Structure 1
């Protein structure tokens, strides 16, 4: 029984920390999350992590739903609940506490500098997440080709990501059948 509490405490600590760092969404903390979940704790393999992320991205709703799903895979319903509370609770409280101050200084040049500085940081974290997911999923040259084609379609067209996901899934099915 004690190990279940230890596991839930570890999940709470990890997801609480990451939720406060996720400027720009869950994608910005994906490399650290993958490092912890796959490399440190060995709760999932890199392929399971990438597949769970893809599944949650394809489902309706915000991509942050991916985090409680990791808790569910690791510790069932208690893990899901702990991860959900720690994913949504700390940033909500932080936002509520800082909103008044942030609004008070809306015209201050320092605020604009902070916002400008966060844009490239967020873009870099998103790029690191893309590299991580590519490394986890492109295990063969056909899969690497599907990744490259999907990235090109996403960048060069206005296709819905759902169509790109569907096309990639069908190509993967055909190539590995």
Structure 2
């Protein structure tokens, strides 16, 4: 039984339990608010030590500054997590960013990601957000996951987030629908 619970700052080390590896067969590029696909075959490896440190640092930064994280646990093992950033964004200052979201490889396609996404969406609504801003990796799995949960490409790309990850697909999820 997988449980979805709020995570604390001291849980950061558990992120090392996540296996983010995946086989990528299709990626997207966004041109003039339209998705264009490109077939590839790439085995994306798990994070190396430098990437673990980067992800853990982002997690800790958000939690120290008022962000929220939810983890999916199979007993004591973290099998997925998501982070809701603390900073409001958008021209109406009514968006919160879904900053990080990963489900370990062997637990994908079992509803774990959906449950984390729902928990983060509820938290964003509680904090007064009208939308989630999602800077999704350009992989088919990520874009299709967010699209299937009502997210859509945004014409109002956040410049700061675009500069950090220009290949990402920038999406918005309306929370009040």
Higher helix share: 1
TM-score higher than 0.5: no
Rg comparison, structure with higher value: 1
What's the TM-score, normalizing by structure 1?
0.28
What's the TM-score, normalizing by structure 2?
0.28
